[in-house]
Amino acid sequence: MSTPELIPAAAAADLLGVRRQTLYAYVSRGILTRSHATDDRGHRVSMFDRREVLALTERHRRDRTGVFELHLDTAVTHLDPAGRLLYRGRDACDLALTHSFEAVAEILWDTSSSGDWDVSDEALWVWQHLDAACPADAMPAARVRVALAMLAACTAGPDRPSPSDVRRLARVAVMTAAGALGRPTAPWPGSVALAASRALSPTGDRAASAIGTALVLLADHELATSTVAARAAASTHADPVVTFLTGAAAMGGPLHGRAGEAAYALLRDAATLGAAAALDRRGERTPPGFGHAVYTDTDPRAECLLDVVLDGQPHLSDTIDDLSLQVRRRHGLAMNVDLAMAAATMALPLRPGAAEGIFVVARLAGMAAHALEELEHRLRFRPRAVYTGESSG
């Protein structure tokens, strides 16, 4: 048996794309084996089997991406694994604290004007008929999807949409969706954040500022599953609203748009039972609201949003600190934006299903930005499958 090639902790952490604290958490959980050596200065140092580290790296890659990998050039959004999110070169966290959602949408759409954000006749028609099309207990995101389907019936345009078509219908879709989160009230309150706040918070307008921050932070995140779905639809030259509906539909699963539900349940348990007991109830499963496929540590969107929603919430802040510490020790994971949205749901407070509703409305802006890029291409999403079924011969 060959002698293992040992590498120092810094090199092992580098290969895995994690911090040293996470590396040692893997050791404590039995995922990696650590040995010790003495360096040139006589200090005792940790060493790791390079093959074992590479095997774990490959396992993480498969867990995160399956066997389907997609690489596209984009000028919309840049995700830095070290913890920074940029919209067309501008820090998303800075924008969330200084710009309205509408202004950030225009940045994502690469426009120099503020755009026409007046309520359209199509939006008014959808709001007028939406309640009749939805069950009384429909969740906010479900209402948004129905509203987008109704809007698509009103907006069918040319076979090949132009950039101006995409931008115009993106504004219409965002406003229609925001008004669809709850029972629409006339007149339009003046902003997407205000419309969402009135629909989703029992406090009315008071939650608008925090919701506006969340909308900006969630507006785009590069090639998330829903964005890929929207780009695929856009590549067929689908009507822009159909493209947005395609992306919104892909957000309907618990691993994407609805991930905040499980994070809320965990945070609620941590607030009532204590962080350790809440995690004990979940066993070894990865806790919702923690870990990310791209960021190697804390999701920058989580930190920015928590700074806003935890102001004046000392008990909730302590609960999140305790939960984060416990998860770091047990799993080596940092929080993501789903936990921050769960905290916003508690702190503001927001109605059930609000987090997913805000997420869907926000992400329409990013889908439109990616649809604009896809106009330059034609039907380029045609991956091949590896057939594993029975042979006819």
- DSSP for 27-83 reads HHTTSS-EEEEE-TTS-EEEEEEHHHHHHHHHHHHHHHHTT-------SSEEEETTT
pLDDT value of position 366? 98
Q: Which of 292, 297, 299, 370 is labelled catalytic?
A: 292
Instruction: Tell me which of 220, 239, 297, 338 is the catalytic residue.
Output: 338
Find, among 215, 197, 214, the residue nearest to 205 by Cα.
197
Name the residue among 19, 11, 5 with its Cα closest to residue 82: 19
Q: What is the spatial distance between Cα 325 and Cα 330, in angstroms, rounded to a whole number?
A: 9
d(CA 80, CA 92): 12
Distances (CA, A) of 119 to 173, 191, 198: 10, 10, 17
Distance in angstroms (rounded) separating the CA atoms of residues 48 and 155: 59
Residues in Cβ contact with 3 at an 8 Å cutoff, skipping those fewer than 6 apart: none
- Is 78 catalytic? The answer is no
- The predicted pLDDT at position 152 comes to 96
Give the pLDDT band of residue 272 (cuts 50, 70, 90): very high
| 338 labelled catalytic | yes
Share of the chain above pLDDT 70, in %: 95
> Higher-confidence residue: 364 or 260?
364
What would you report as the CA-atom Rg of the chain, rounded to the nearest whole angstrom?
Answer: 23
Region for 299 from its dihedrals, namely left if φ exceeds 0, alpha if ψ lies in -120 to 50, beta otherwise = beta
pLDDT, tens only, 230-246: 999 999 999 999 999 99
Residue 116 is classified by DSSP as -
Strands (E), the chain: 6-8, 34-38, 44-49, 77-80, 84-87, 90-91
Which pLDDT tens digit goes with each residue over 319-342?
Answer: 999 999 999 999 899 999 999 999
pLDDT tens sequence across 190-219: 999 999 999 999 988 999 999 999 999 999
CATH number of 93-393: 1.10.580.10
Going by the DSSP 8-state scheme, the letter that residue 352 receives in this structure is T
Topology at the third CATH level for domain 6-65: Multidrug-efflux Transporter Regulator; Chain: A; Domain 2 (1.10.1660)
Neighbours of 229 (CB within 10 A): 20
Q: What is the mean pLDDT of residues 64-84?
A: 79
Q: Is 87 helix (H, G, I), strand (E, B) or coil?
A: strand
Instruction: For the chain, give the mean pLDDT.
Output: 91
Cβ atoms 72, 27 nearer than 8 A: no
Q: How far apart are CA 87 and CA 75, in angstroms?
A: 8
Q: Residue 339: which of 284, 292, 293, 282 has the closest Cα? A: 292
Q: Domain extents for the chain?
A: 6-65, 93-393
* Length of the chain as a residue count: 393
For tokens 């499963």, the residue is 285
